[in-house]
A and B are shown apart, each in its own frame.
Chain A
Amino acid sequence: MTPEQKRKAVEAALMPFIHGKTLAQALVLWDEKYAHKPTFALQHYLRELCSDIELAHMRSRMLQALVTTFSSLQDQRQDKPVAPHNKATTDNSHSSPELQMFMALVEQLINSAKGDNATRVRLYVLENIEKLPTAPNNRRALQSWLNQIAPLTGTTLNIHLMQQVINLAYVGLCEYLGPIKADQFLQDSVSAVQRDFPKLRVQTLL
């Protein structure tokens, strides 16, 4: 997504909630601090935007509107023949088989939520990766990959970190779809990824 597309998406999403001068100020804030940040910064943007009481009660609805608008833009983008997002998530040529399996499982898990919920789960994982006790370069690599900016190639992640990231996706699924669906999606994703990686054991990542 170009910065211009993102700005339009923000404007469209916020229009039902704020107007005139407030909307203009919100867009100025976006341009100044968040336009060039990855998608997961949406939550930070809204936190700053809704710091005064008048907007605070609308924050969750505004976030939902933003997520929906962004995900519909992404869907349109995925319909095009060459999708940079796909490239970022599937370019595994320089990854170890374990890392490829890990990436496949995380993507499978997140995308099993479908639509807005998939975006929400992705945002959840992205936000919580910041809290994982890992080296900053690993964290940045994971954030870039999940934010569909760069593939996760040439990175070495230990099994424990991979398990934690998968767990974040599982917790995100629990949050947005409930634990029953989360368990089903986890089981289905493991089966699907196991079929693609018959020589490896997907269970080791859980």
Chain B
Amino acid sequence: MRFVYLALSLFFSLFSAGSFAGEISLTDLSQSLNSSWILVAGVLVFFMQAGFALVESGMSRAKNAVNVIMKNYMDVCVCSLIFWALGYGLMFGINTTGWFGSSHFLPADLSDWDWTFLFFQMMFAATTTTIASGAMAERVHFHAYLIGACVIAGFIYPVFGSWAWGSNYQGEGWLKAMGFIDFAGSTVVHSIGGWIALAAVIILGPRLGRFSPTGEARSIPGHNLTMVALGGFILWFGWFGFNAGSTLAANTSLGKIALNTHLAACSGALGYMLISKLCKQSILLTGTVNGSLGGLVGITAGCASMEPMFAMLTGLIAGAISFLGPKLLTSFKIDDVVDAISVHGFCGAWGTLAAGLFYAGDMFNADKVGVQLIGIAVAFIWGFGIAFCSYFLINLLVGMRASSLHEQRGLDFTEHAEIGYPEFQDTRALNQEALNAQR
């Protein structure tokens, strides 16, 4: 072991300006290792954006593929800037009240570790926003969507985050102080994203013809299931960084966290398949991918505090929820293109509860479960409530819903003057000048 440390210290010394191998202490080395791991984990979480883009675009119709990708792409850009300027301070700044951070806005002078931490957390903020984008696909105006993304990354997400995870400096969020367990964000990231999505789709309404005049739901299949599967794999891959990176240290617990993450994803897909069979329904690729994503969302809260057997159980139940959730929402005529509300909102809530129920060494502790339930309820009230008000205002001020003419033409054409599949689609869009003149 000592040899490994020596080799690593030699390696890092080569990249540390002004340092000599002999001067590096074990603390420095440990910090370097932690920083390196969190940086890699942050990059993995960033890569999840590609997974989201593929899943969401694949589940949309060809005429909206570019628009979906554009939303995901700009999510990262807009949310990263907003989170750096405002979100980080609100979420992790000095939190004397327990309700929000009040320092470190527009940070310019942080410690080396804090820069690493900020980079990692920035990716989480972008993930929360992206969750809502899939639900809103195929009928939301691009600019209205981006305004909503700013509100999420700059206010909704960091304020709730400050309650559950704050602060990084001084003080403590009130939920954290109560003992709320959400290791990597089943609630903080995923449920909040899911509830925001729910508010958005209620304001937006369903896509044209999604429900018949008699209320019967119609399926609108996505245009590329290969993309959906690839996106599912990429998300799964990135999730190892998401969960194991949340240790914020390169320590020996990483293996179990990664294992729990993987087992939950596997059993999530299996849970979906089992319940599909029980309900005598076809096993769909989209459903299977969502089942595994449900498992991943479910285990995110308790991946560091559960035994593998219970991680599997959590994933299995989350997979079943990812099957039942969309049916419940459909009965309320809620149109969620990628089932984000079920996968992230419902499975996130379940995972948070499971983290309390299956806490290793202290299972089924009523106090713990009670705190978890409070966290779940507060997340819903905050996430859904503020998002609903925000989207209501955005809708009032700039309009969120694309017109029926735009839905007919496809948002690639109307929002971006660019189409994903020119070989098969209306080539008029290739004439960008003509289209811009029409706008």
A and B from one complex: yes
- Which of the segments A76-84, A145-153, A167-175 contacts the partner chain? A167-175
Residues of A within 8 A of B426 (CB): 203, 206
Contact of A178 among B218, B405, B427, B428 (CB under 8 A): B218
Known contacts A60-B213, A174-B208, A203-B426: does B221 contact A167 (CB below 8 Å)? no
Interface residue A182 (Cβ < 8 Å from any Cβ of B): yes
Which residues, 86 to 102 on B, are CB-close (under 8 Å) to A?
none
Q: Is the CB of B221 within 8 A of A178?
A: no
Residues of B within 8 A of A206 (CB): 408-409, 426
Chain A residue, CB-CB nearest to B218: A178
What's the tally of chain B residues with a CB closer than 8 Å to chain A? 19
Please classify the interface of chain A as helix (H, G, I), strand (E, B), loop, or mixed, using the class held by over half of its residues. Answer: helix
Q: Is the CB of A182 within 8 A of B213?
A: no
Q: Is the CB of B408 within 8 A of A170?
A: yes
Residues of B within 8 A of A163 (CB): 405
Q: Is the CB of A180 within 8 A of B213?
A: no
Which residues, 24 to 68 on B, are CB-close (under 8 Å) to A?
61, 63
Residues of A within 8 A of B210 (CB): 179
Q: 0/1 per residue, B115-158, Cβ < 8 Å to A?
A: 00000000000000000000000000000000000000000000
Chain A residue, CB-CB nearest to B406: A167
Q: Is the CB of B209 within 8 A of A179?
A: yes
Interface residue B285 (Cβ < 8 Å from any Cβ of A): no
Which residues, 194 to 228 on B, are CB-close (under 8 Å) to A?
207-210, 212-214, 218, 220-221
Residues of B within 8 A of A171 (CB): 208-209, 404, 408
Residues of B within 8 A of A178 (CB): 209, 212, 218, 220
Q: Is the CB of B212 within 8 A of A176?
A: yes
Residues of B within 8 A of A203 (CB): 426-428
Which residues, 156 to 206 on A, are CB-close (under 8 Å) to B?
163-164, 167, 170-171, 173-180, 182-183, 186, 203-204, 206
What's the tally of chain A residues with a CB closer than 8 Å to chain B? 20
Contact of A186 among B214, B221, B408 (CB under 8 A): B408
What CA separation (Å) do A179 and B63 show in the bound complex? 12
Q: Is the CB of A179 within 8 A of B409?
A: no
Q: Is the CB of A180 within 8 A of B221?
A: yes
Contact of B207 among A170, A179, A204 (CB under 8 A): A179
What CA separation (Å) do A46 and B283 show in the bound complex? 44
Residues of B within 8 A of A180 (CB): 218, 220-221
Known contacts A179-B220, A206-B426: does B212 contact A167 (CB below 8 Å)? no
Residues of A within 8 A of B208 (CB): 171, 174-175, 179, 182
Q: 0/1 per residue, B397-413, Cβ < 8 Å to A?
A: 00000001100110000
Known contacts A174-B209, A178-B209, A182-B209: does B214 contact A60 (CB below 8 Å)? yes
What CA separation (Å) do A151 and B207 show in the bound complex? 34
Chain B nearest CB, measured from A102 CB (Å):
15
Chain A residue, CB-CB nearest to B413: A206
Contact of A164 among B207, B218, B405 (CB under 8 A): B405
What CA separation (Å) do A27 and B208 show in the bound complex? 36
What CA separation (Å) do A162 and B207 show in the bound complex? 23
Residues of A within 8 A of B409 (CB): 206
What CA separation (Å) do A176 and B213 show in the bound complex? 7
Residues of A within 8 A of B220 (CB): 178-180
Q: Is the CB of B209 within 8 A of A175?
A: yes
Chain B residue, CB-CB nearest to A169: B408
Residues of B within 8 A of A179 (CB): 61, 207-210, 218, 220
Residues of B within 8 A of A182 (CB): 208-209
Chain A nearest CB, measured from B181 CB (Å):
43
Residues of A within 8 A of B218 (CB): 178-180
Chain B nearest CB, measured from A117 CB (Å):
11
Q: Is the CB of B408 within 8 A of A167?
A: yes
Chain A nearest CB, measured from B421 CB (Å):
13
What CA separation (Å) do A182 and B409 show in the bound complex? 12
Q: Is the CB of A175 within 8 A of B213?
A: yes
Which residues, 385 to 426 on B, are CB-close (under 8 Å) to A?
404-405, 408-409, 426
Residues of A within 8 A of B63 (CB): 183
Chain B residue, CB-CB nearest to A167: B405
**Most central of B208, B210, B221 by chain A CB within 10 Å:** B208
Chain A nearest CB, measured from B150 CB (Å):
31
What CA separation (Å) do A8 and B61 show in the bound complex? 46
What CA separation (Å) do A179 and B405 show in the bound complex? 13
Q: 0/1 per residue, B424-437, Cβ < 8 Å to A?
A: 00111000000000
Contact of A167 among B404, B427, B428 (CB under 8 A): B404
What CA separation (Å) do A170 and B210 show in the bound complex? 14
Chain A nearest CB, measured from B221 CB (Å):
7
Residues of A within 8 A of B209 (CB): 171, 173-175, 177-179, 182
Knowing that A179-B208, A182-B209 touch, tell me 18 more A-B residue pairs with CB under 8 angstroms: A60-B213, A60-B214, A167-B408, A170-B404, A170-B408, A174-B208, A174-B209, A175-B209, A175-B212, A175-B213, A179-B207, A179-B210, A180-B218, A180-B220, A186-B408, A203-B426, A203-B428, A206-B409
12 A-B residue contacts at CB 8 Å? Answer: A167-B408, A171-B408, A174-B209, A175-B209, A175-B212, A178-B220, A179-B210, A179-B218, A180-B220, A183-B63, A203-B426, A206-B408
User: Residues of B with Cβ closer than 8 Å to A?
Assistant: 61, 63, 207-210, 212-214, 218, 220-221, 404-405, 408-409, 426-428
The 10 A-B residue pairs whose C-beta atoms are closest, nearest first, are: A174-B209, A179-B209, A174-B208, A178-B218, A167-B405, A170-B408, A171-B404, A178-B209, A203-B428, A167-B408
